Amino acid sequence: MNRREFLKVTGAAGATLAASGAQAEPPKKDDTEFVGVLVDTTRCIGCRSCESACSQQHGLPVPDIENDGALEAKRNTSERQRTVVNRYETDEGPVFVKKQCMHCWQPACAAACLTNAMYKTRSGPVIWRQGKCMGCRYCMISCPFDIPKFEYDRWNPRIEKCDLCAERIAQGKKPACVAACPTDALMFGMKRDLIEVARVRVYNHPKRYVRKIYGEHEVGGTGWLYLSAVPFEQLGFPTHLGTTPYPEFTRDFLYGVPVVLFGLPALLLGLNLLAERKKQEA
Amino acid sequence: MDSTAAVSGGHLGRELRGFGRFLLRELKPRGKLITPFNVISLPIIVLGIAILIVRFVRGLGSVTNLSQEVPWGLWIGFDVVTGVALAGGAYVITFVVYVMRLEKYRPIVRVTILNGLLAYVFYAGALVFDLGRPWNIINPIIGNSFGYNSVLFLVAWHFLLYMIAEFVEFSPVVAEWLGWKRVRRLLRSLTLGAVIFGITLSTLHQSGLGALFLMAKAKIHPLWYTEFIPILFFVSSIAAGLSMIIIEGTISHRVFKDQIDPRRHGTFEELVFGLAKGAAISLFVYYFFKALIFIHEQHWLLLGDAWGVWYLIEVVGFVLTPCVLFAYAVRNRRLGVVRVAALLTVTGIVLNRLNISIIAFNWRSETHYYPSWMEIVVTLMVVFAEIWVFRWVVNRMPVLRPSAHAGQET
Amino acid sequence: METYHYVNIFETKGLEYLLLICFLVLFVLLIRYLERPKPEESSENRASRVTRRHPC
C-alpha cells in the first residue's frame, strides 16, 4: 500500500467513524459502507432552502429563493448551481423534486475519467479533483443523468456538480442541503439503513407511495434514493436506464485490449514469416 | 554530411553550423507563393490562430457552440474521431507491404505513412485546443493520474505511442534526406517492429474511439448505438483509409507530377484497382455487420421517422452504394468510378462519425448543436496547416520520388 | 415489471443465422467477381499492360 492509498483509507475510516458515531475499533479497509440521501418527495414543500444552503456552502451565487419565481419553469443544474428543485403538476397535486448528482455505486463519470479527477470515494461521494482534471468533458458524455456541468466561459474551467459535501461529511456533519431542509424530506445516513427506512415507509403507507425506490437498482444503484406518490416518469426521472452499472458497458472492450496486445503482434509476425518464406520459394 | 565524422570540438561546431545552414535553406519556400491554395489557406490559418488566442483567454464558450447537452462538437467529432478514421490507410498499407510483403504497393507506402503521421499529429493534436485545461494533459502521461478504467486513457496513450511508431516508420526517409546513412540503416531495421506495433495500436485505438461512446447508451439514438460500435469503427476505418489513399494519391499525382516517373502512372492505376478491391471487400463486410445489428436490434421498428430515413441514407447511400461501385469499377477497370466510390465512402465515414458523436447524440434534447463559424475556421486551419507541412516534406524528402536506395528495402 | 413477463433474448437468432449464410454465399461470389476483371483498356490506361491475374 503506498502513501496515497494509506491516506485515503485513514481519511475514509475517520469519516465513517465520525459519521456513524461511536465504534469499537477502526473499520478494516473493506468494511466502509456508502452513505446516501433519501429524498421523500411527498414531504418536500418546494421551499428551496436546500438550493440556498448548497450555494452558500460552495461559494456559488445564492439564488433568491423567495422572489425569483424559478419554479415556474423546469431547470437543470448548471455550472453555477449544483442542485435545483423543480415543480411537477401531477394528479396528486404539485410534486417538488430535488435534482443533483446521484452518486452512483459504480459511476460512469469516474470510469470515464482518464485522470481520476472524477473519483468515487470510499465512503460514497463522487468528487471532482481539480488538480487532475484536463477538461476533456468525457465525464459529461458518459453520465446517464447528464449531471456534470462545465464552465465554458472561463479560461480555467471547472466541472461543477454535487459532491455530497464530502468535506462536511468528513467532519461528521450532514450535507448542507440535508441540514437545511425544514421538513425532513432529506434524510442522510448509511445507504443500507436508508433502503430499510424507505421500504418501511412504502409498506406502511401503500396508498401514499408508489411501490418503488428510485435509485435502488437504477444503473446498479445510486447514493441518492427517491420516494414518490406518482410514477417516476411523471417527475422527469429517466426510467429506461436499466440496472446495469454503466462502467460495465466498457468492461468487455477494456478486458479485450490485453488480448489483442498479446495476440495480434504474434499473429502479424507469423503472417510475415510465412510471407517471407513464400517469397523465398518463388 | 555523414554522421560518422569524427567528433572533436571544432569539427562538431562546424558540423552544427553547416546543419543549421542546411535547415535554413530547406525552410525557404519553393515554387510560387501566389497560388489559389496559398491565397485561400494562409488567411484562414492566420484567422484560426487569432480565434485560438481568444479561446484560451476567454474560454471555450467564447468561440464554440458547445453546450452542457452537447459537450463534444466539431473539434472532437470531426478533427479527432473522423480524422483518425480517415488516417487508417497507414496501418493497412504497412500491413500489406511490410507484413505480407506485397512489393507491388511499396511505391505508395512512404506517402501513406507520412499522411498518417501528419494526420495524427495535427488532428489528434488539435484536441488540445478542445481541452478545458490542456496544461493538465501531462497528468495521464507522467503517472500523476493513471485512469486505467477509462477508454479515453487507452485512446490517448495509443495515440501517443502510435505517433512514435509512425515516426520510426517514416524516419528512414528523414535520414535519407539528411544523408545519415548509418542512422538510416539502424532505423530500417526497426521498421518491421514499428509496423507490427503500429498495426496493433491502430486496431485498438480505432475501435477505442468507438468504445468511447459505449457509456452514452442512453443518449445516442438507438439506430446508431450498439455494443458493437468498436468493431464497426475498426472495420470502417479500413475502408476509410483505403479510400483516402486513393483520393490523396490522385491529388498528389496531379500536384507533384514533376516528381513521379511517367512510367509509374500506369503502375499507380494498378495499385488503385488493388486498393479498390480491398475497399469493396471491407465495405461489404461492414455492410453485413450493420445488417446483423439491424436484425438483432429489430431496427425495422425504428425506420418510420426522419431519423430512420437519415440512417438509411447513410447505410444504403454511403456504404452499400460505394461497395457496389468499387466492385463494378474493379471488374470493368473504370478508374473514374473508383474515385467516385472513394469520395462516397469518405463522406459516409464522416457522416457516420458525426452522427454518433454530434448529430444523433442527445437526440432527444430540444436544442441542437451546430458548429460556430469559428469552430469551422479552426478546423480548416488544422487541415490547411497539415497540407502545408505535407507539401513541405514531399518537396524536399524522397517520399514520392524514388529513393536513392530503390531496390533495397526501405 | 421487467422480470415478470416473457422475454426471449434469442428472438432474432434464426434470422441472424440466415443472414450469415447469405453473407458467406455472397462473399464467395464477390471475391470471384473481383478476381476476374474484363481485359478492356480503360480510358486513362496508357503505357502499362494489364495482366489478367495479378496476385492481389
Looking at residue A154, its pLDDT comes to 93
Using CB atoms, list chains with 3+ pairs below 8 Å to chain C: B
Instruction: State how far residue C38 is from chain B, nearest Cα, in angstroms.
Output: 6
Alpha-carbon gap, residue B276 to B334, rounded angstroms: 11
Report chain C residues whose CB lies below 8 A from the CB of B291: 19
Q: Does a structural domain hold residue A199?
A: yes
The complex's ipTM works out to: 0.89
A224 in any annotated domain = yes
Q: How many Cβ pairs within 8 Å bridge chains A and B? A: 169
Chain B residue numbers touching C54 (CB-CB < 8 A): 104, 270, 274
CATH number at residue B293: 1.20.1630.10
Cα–Cα dist A118/A110, whole Å: 5
Question: Is residue A64 helix, strand or coil?
Answer: coil
- Give the pLDDT score at B3: 52
Residue A46 near residue A85 (C-beta atoms within 8 A): yes
Q: Which domain holds residue B76?
A: 35-396
Residue A151 lies in a domain: yes
| Structural domains in chain A (count) | 1
The CATH number assigned to the domain holding A148 equals 3.30.70.20
Is B333 a domain residue? yes
Flag whether B4 is in a domain.
Answer: no
Tell me if B295 is assigned to some domain: yes
Chain B residues with CB-CB distance to A259 below 8 A: none
Residue A262 inside a domain? The answer is no
B229-255 vs B191-211: helix axis angle to the nearest 10?
120
DSSP string across B78-145 = IIIIIHHHHTTHHHHHHIIIIIS--GGGGGGHHHHHHHHHHHIIIIIHHHHHH-SSGGGGGHHHHTS-
To which residue does cell 437498482 refer? A217
Residue B398 CB: number of other CB atoms within 10 A? 19
Please report which residue ranges of B263-359 form alpha helices under DSSP H: 264-296, 306-312, 321-332, 335-354
Which residues does B77 contact at the CB level (< 8 Å), separation at least 6?
Answer: B353, B354, B357, B358
Residue of chain C whose Cα is closest to the Cα of B287: C23
Do the Cβ atoms of B361 and B216 come closer than 8 Å?
Answer: yes
Spatial contact of A122 and A144, defined as CB atoms under 8 Å apart: no
Task: Check if the beta carbon of residue B126 is closer than 8 Å to that of residue B119.
Answer: no
Taking CB atoms within 8 Å and a gap of at least 24, the contacts of C17-20 are: C19/B288, C19/B291, C19/B292, C19/B295, C20/B292
Smallest CA–CA separation between C5 and chain B, in Å?
A: 19
Say which of B134, B140, B215 has its CB closest to residue A142: B215
pLDDT of residue C3: 73
Chains that touch B (3 or more CB pairs under 8 A): A, C
Q: Is residue B60 part of a domain?
A: yes
On whether any CB of chain B is under 8 Å from the CB of C14, the answer is no
Answer yes or no: is A49 within a domain: yes
Q: What is the pLDDT of residue A88?
A: 95
Q: Cα–Cα–Cα angle for B229, B235, B240, nearest 5°?
A: 110
Question: Which residues of chain B carry a pLDDT beneath 70?
Answer: 1-9, 144, 262-265, 403-410
Planar angle of CA B142, B145, B148, nearest 5 degrees: 105
Q: What is the pLDDT of residue B8?
A: 58
pTM above 0.90, yes or no: no
- Average confidence (pLDDT) over C11-24: 93
Domains: count for chain B? 1
* DSSP reduced 3-state for A159: strand
Nearest CA-CA distance, residue C29 and chain B, Å: 11
Query: How many other CB atoms are there within 10 angstroms of residue B364's CB atom?
Result: 8
Does B408 reside within a domain? no
Q: For chain A, 282 residues long, give each residue's pLDDT as a single digit of tens.
A: 566 666 666 666 556 655 554 445 555 566 788 999 999 999 999 999 999 999 999 999 999 988 888 899 999 999 999 999 999 999 989 999 999 999 999 999 999 999 999 999 999 999 999 999 999 999 999 999 999 999 999 999 999 999 999 999 999 999 999 999 999 999 999 999 999 999 999 999 999 999 999 999 999 999 999 999 999 999 999 999 999 999 999 999 999 999 999 999 999 999 999 999 988 887
Q: Which residues are paired to A64 by β-bridges?
A: none
Residue-by-residue DSSP string for B339-379: HHHHHHHHHHHHHHHHIIIIISBTTT-SS-----HHHHHHH
Residues 6+ apart with CB under 8 A from B189: none
Q: Closest-CA residue in chain A for B220? A: A141
- Check CB contact under 8 Å for B59 and A246: no
Asked if C8 has any chain B CB less than 8 Å from its own CB, the reply is no
Cell of B20: 543549421
Report if residue B15 sits inside a domain: no
Distances (CA, A) of B193 to B94, B182, B187: 11, 19, 10
Cell of B384: 490547411
Cα–Cα distance, A200 to A254 (Å, whole number):
41
Q: Tell me whether A280 touches chain B (CB under 8 Å).
A: no
Contacts of A45 (CB under 8 A, 6+ apart): A96, A182, A183, A185
Output the nine-digit C-alpha cell for B27: 525552410
pLDDT digits (tens, 9 = 90+) for A263-272: 999 999 999 9
The partner residues of A104 in beta bridges, in order of sequence, read A222
- Chain C hits for B295, CB-CB cut-off 8 Å, are 12, 15-16, 19
pLDDT score of B408: 45
Partner residue facing B292 (CB), from C16, C30, C43: C16
In Å, what is the CA distance from B54 to each residue of B42, B48, B58, B80, B369? 19, 10, 6, 21, 21
**How would you write A70-137 as a 3-class SS string?**
HHHCCCCCCCCCCCEEEEEEECCEEEEEEECCCCECCCHHHHHCCCCCEEECCCCCEEECCCCCCCCC
* Inter-chain CB proximity A112 and B152 less than 8 Å: yes
| Neighbouring C-beta atoms of residue A52, cutoff 10 Å | 18
Q: A135 and B66 in contact by Cβ < 8 A?
A: no
Compute the radius of gyration of chain A from its Cα atoms.
23
Strands A126-128 and A149-150: unpaired
Closest CA–CA distance from residue B337 to any residue of chain C (Å): 11
Nearest CA in chain C to B268: C48
Distance from CA of B340 to the nearest CA of A (A): 32
In a domain, B106, yes or no: yes
Cα A139 to Cα A159: distance, rounded to the nearest angstrom: 9
Residue positions counted in chain A: 282
pLDDT 10s digits, B168-226: 999 999 999 888 888 888 888 899 999 999 999 999 999 999 999 999 999 999 999 99
Q: Helix B191-211 crosses helix B151-178 at what angle (to 10 degrees)?
A: 150
- Domain of residue A98 covers 33-235
In a domain, B169, yes or no: yes
Question: For residue B100, what is the nearest residue in chain C, using CA coordinates?
Answer: C56
For residue A250, being part of any structural domain is answered with: no
Instruction: Match 454530434 to its residue by C-alpha cell.
Output: B358
**A260, part of any domain:** no
Q: What is the mean pLDDT of chain C?
A: 75
Burial class (CB in 10 A: 0-12, 13-18, 19+), B300: exposed
Residue B29 to residue A71: CA distance in whole angstroms: 64
Is residue A270 in a domain? no
